[in-house]
Amino acid sequence: MKSSVSFHKVTTAKDIAETARLARIIWTEHFSDMIGKDIVQYLLETLQSEKAIKLQIQDEYAYYLIQAETNYVGYFAVQHQRQEQNMFLSKLYILNSERGKGYGKSALSAIEKMAQNNNCCKISLTVYYKNRNSIAAYEKMGFYKTGSIRRDVGNGIIIHDLTMEKIMTDPREKK
Alpha carbons 72 and 66: distance in angstroms, whole number: 6
Instruction: Judge whether residue 144 has pLDDT over 60.
Output: yes
Beta strand spans in 82-175 (E): 86-94, 122-128, 144-152, 158-167
Write 28-36 long-range contacts (CB < 8 A, 24+): 29/95, 29/96, 30/93, 30/96, 31/128, 34/128, 34/130, 34/131, 35/128, 35/130
Give the angle subtended at the CA of 78 by the CAs of 146 and 101, to the nearest 5°.
85
Instruction: Judge whether residue 169 has pLDDT over 80.
Output: no
**Domain 5-173: top CATH class:** alpha beta
Give mean pLDDT, residues 21-38. 95
φ/ψ (deg, to 5) at 93: -135, 135
Domain boundaries, the chain: 5-173
- Global model pTM greater than 0.75: yes
Cβ proximity of 163 and 117 under 8 Å: no
Cβ proximity of 7 and 66 under 8 Å: yes
Of the candidates 29, 35, 20, the residue with the CA atom closest to the CA atom of residue 96: 29
Task: Report the pLDDT value the prediction gives residue 33, as an integer from 0 to 100.
Answer: 93
Of the candidates 89, 67, 59, the residue with the CA atom closest to the CA atom of residue 18: 67
Categorize the per-residue pLDDT at 2 as very low, low, confident or very high, splitting at 50, 70 and 90: low
